[in-house]
Structure 1
Amino acid sequence: MAERYIRLGLRLDRHVEGTVDAYFGPPELAAEVAAAPPVDPRALVADAAALLADLDDGWLRDQVTGLHTYARVVAGERLDYADEVEGCYGIRPTHTDEAVFAAAHKRLEELLPGDGPLDERRERWRRSITVPPDRIEQALVAVIAEARARTLALIDLPDGEGVVVEGVRDVSWLGYNFYLGDLRGRVAVNLDMPTSAVELLLLGIHETYPGHQAERAAKEQRLVRGRGLLEETIVLAPCPQSLISEGIGQVAPMTLLAGAGAAAFETLARDAAGVDFDLAHALAVERAAEPCRWAEVNAALMLHADGASEDDVREYLRRWGVMGDEMAGHVVRFMTEPTSRTYIVNYPAGRALCGAYVGDDLDRLRQLLTEQVRVGELRSHPS
């Protein structure tokens, strides 16, 4: 079953690069798929359906449901956007009333006083604590080292685990951890986008410890090496594991930054990034703006379900998402690329579900980092 699942994911990646986020399983399976001609997507839909019929209810079946949905899209089937998201990730996107954003804006007005529209004030504040581009990589390395040291109090990281950092340009994301297998990751940061000191902290922790790197390495050690779960050697973007992973990445920063280690991270950002800022205030701004992430889901529904223009979507993001022109354009680009048009829902939905699941119980965060938790389990957990 696991081999069929891996082949299906690798074959879909031949049609849409980026479907496979990471693969570190048997090299002969990857070589076999690479050596053969691409399989007709319609045949992949049939393969996914056959695999679903052979699987019992469980984590792997959830994953294959996501691949089956995605294969239908790759094969040219027109799905309602909400149906596509639900088929891939197990959650259905709905419109969030703008009153939710208006309430968040009132709090942001208090935190970011001054003249001009709120989105402009927030952007001016971001720019006032922006990390110089030539210091981003070295500062990120320092943030990651501090985050790793503090994460060791939360979970055991296996020997030989670690990451390298590189700056990249002309990409649709702010940061990315390319998990390489053998407990190693390559963290790339977008040097084209202005990055504030607090965003650098959030990004570094999200992508590494106790975020994506900690999750991938812990699961490789525990589930692949320890329990022989071959299906865990492939990470697939259009599947429920993405929602869990992004939820972990969204919960992780506050685990470190809201605790006793906050002062260390503030000092580190000042020294390594060369930016003098108030971390407590910056985190208050981030928390106040959190409900506005749902504006991105509304924007995706506008674009993909309602037929709105990209200009209208950008304007909506500027107004309700409280973001500048450059960031709004970046988000629109992200939600129009093949592997991220639905993926954008995972950030606020993952944060909401994983945040409610974890609460103040770090044992639940450890469980998310080390076990195959299903989206259904998160949805059924009392908030």
Structure 2
Amino acid sequence: MTSAPVDVAREYVRLGLRFDRLESGFVDAYTGDPRIRAAVEDEPAPTPQGLRDQARTLLGELDAARLPADRTAFLRGQLTGLECSARKMSGEPVAFRDEVRSYFQVDVELGDPAHYAAAHAALEELLPGDGTLAERYARHRRREECPPQRLEVAVQALSSALRDRVRSGYGLPEAETVRYEVVTDKPWSGFNYYEGAYRSRVAINADLPHRLSQLPHLVAHESYPGHHTEHCRKEQGLVERAGRVEHTVFLVNTPECLMAEGLADLGVDAAVGEGWGRWSAEVLGDLGLRFDGDLAERIAAATAPLNRVRQDAALMLHDRGADPDDVVAHLQRWSLVSDERARQQLRFLTHPLWRAYITTYVEGFELLSGWLSARPAEQSAADRFLRLLDEPLTPAVVAGELQAA
């Protein structure tokens, strides 16, 4: 007598919920049956070793489950990330680069200082004047700061304008909503809490100043067409229509995070495209909030190579054992940020749950922007981006398509 096949997708959901009992926040979102979560909460307390073994068992059951290839690839990547997280939680030594590869299906290396120096040279031309480049850049950033008392109204205006573009360009469920709140004492600048039923709560961290030219990116990243839009479309398509229960849970430190953050960082490009600076300046100008949109767009292009400096910092800390003060100095030198902002970044990089997560932004953006650019001639950028919103793609699958192209 043969035993019934394991429902790998449902067991994966239960396994993910068990991780949240060991590390609060590991489950970024859960929109499934509340009875499943309640049942997991009533189980005996899980152990890292037990979760590791469960992940390995489910990995071994995947081929026998005979799921479609895209479901199998998605679940294999997710379970591999969970198995590594369990090993880390149990105190097993895992090299940082191996940790990142297991979580996100990418290999990471230190950036090239020559590229950073070239970015500095480009910025020098855009910001002439007295003082060092870091001083001039800091003055420019201060000129762009949003008054704290106007932050919420600015976010709401940008959200409304981006929502209109996403609704017409990509489509949204009729009932979707986003509500915003301003918070403090967090290691991130913004966070999307997806609540299910097409609802999100987006928290904006006011610990550090927000610049007017960065607010469009923040709102696009968290809401339209970023995290909120992706959650809505996948809940509607993959969960409700296709019955893929694995997409009722979103777990930290898994391949889907790199996909989601890369997609979200492409948000302004996908919703507005070239000319986003002037467009954003017009939206905020209606509120009496002024900045030079054309200059902001040129500066963003010039400084794009510096995004990798944040990943350098993680590698220095966790792969090379560098002194935190040396890491802060590296961030200040190449990212041209203040000591305060560098130490805020360090807080994120040393958080037990988030220490490897910076890779999702750096490698996610690079992988997906390259994949969008390499689309077939007959496919529009919007149609290509729609695949990111709707399909259970993985970094490995995207890298394979990019290599084939």
Q: Which residue number corresponds to residue 361 of structure 1? A: 381
Q: Which moved more, 1:241-250 or 1:107-116?
A: 107-116
Q: List runs of 5+ in structure 1 lacking aligned partners.
A: none
- Distance between the aligned counterparts of 1:83 and 1:222, measured in 2? 33
| 1:63-74 aligned within 5 A | 63-74=78-89
| 1:77-88 aligned within 5 A | 77-88=92-103
Q: Which residue number corresponds to residue 292 of structure 1? A: 306
Question: Shift of residue 37 of structure 1?
Answer: 3.3
Q: Which moved more, 1:291-300 or 1:29-38?
A: 29-38
- Distance between the aligned counterparts of 2:294 and 2:340, measured in 1? 26
Residue type at the aligned position of 1:8: L
Q: Which residue number corresponds to residue 15 of structure 1? A: 22
What's the CA shift string for 1:343-382, capped at 9, x where partnerless?
0111111111110111262211000011111111221214
Q: Which residue number corresponds to residue 302 of structure 1? A: 316
Contact 1:129 1:275 in 2 (8 A): no
What is the total number of aligned residue pairs between the two structures?
A: 382
Q: CA RMSD in A?
A: 1.4
What's the CA shift string for 1:186-237, capped at 9, x where partnerless?
0110112100101111101111111111111010001111101100000111
- Distance between the aligned counterparts of 2:128 and 2:289, measured in 1? 21
What's the CA shift string for 1:152-186, capped at 9, x where partnerless?
23212012111000000100000111101111000
Q: Which residue number corresponds to residue 329 of structure 1? A: 343
Contact 1:269 1:275 in 2 (8 A): yes
- Distance between the aligned counterparts of 2:161 and 2:334, measured in 1? 34
Residue type at the aligned position of 1:14: R
Answering whether residue 246 of structure 2 is matched by residue 231 of structure 1, we say: yes
Question: Shift of residue 36 of structure 1?
Answer: 2.5
What's the CA shift string for 1:270-313, capped at 9, x where partnerless?
233x4311112112111211111111111101001111111111
- Distance between the aligned counterparts of 1:340 and 1:40, measured in 2? 20
Answering whether residue 126 of structure 2 is matched by residue 106 of structure 1, we say: no
| 1:212-361 aligned within 5 A | 212-259=227-274, 263-272=278-287, 274-359=288-373, 361=381
| 1:81-230 aligned within 5 A | 81-230=96-245
SS of aligned partner of 2:286: helix
- Distance between the aligned counterparts of 1:164 and 1:245, measured in 2? 20
Contact 2:213 2:280 in 1 (8 A): no
Answering whether residue 395 of structure 2 is matched by residue 375 of structure 1, we say: yes
TM-score (norm 2): 0.91
Q: List runs of 5+ in structure 2 lacking aligned partners.
A: 1-7, 64-71, 374-379
Contact 2:144 2:291 in 1 (8 A): yes
- Distance between the aligned counterparts of 1:336 and 1:120, measured in 2? 27
| CA distance 1:371–1:48, shift in 2 (3 Å) | same
Question: Shift of residue 42 of structure 1?
Answer: 0.5
SS of aligned partner of 2:181: strand
Q: Which runs of 4+ in 1 moved over 6 A?
A: none
TM-score (norm 1): 0.96
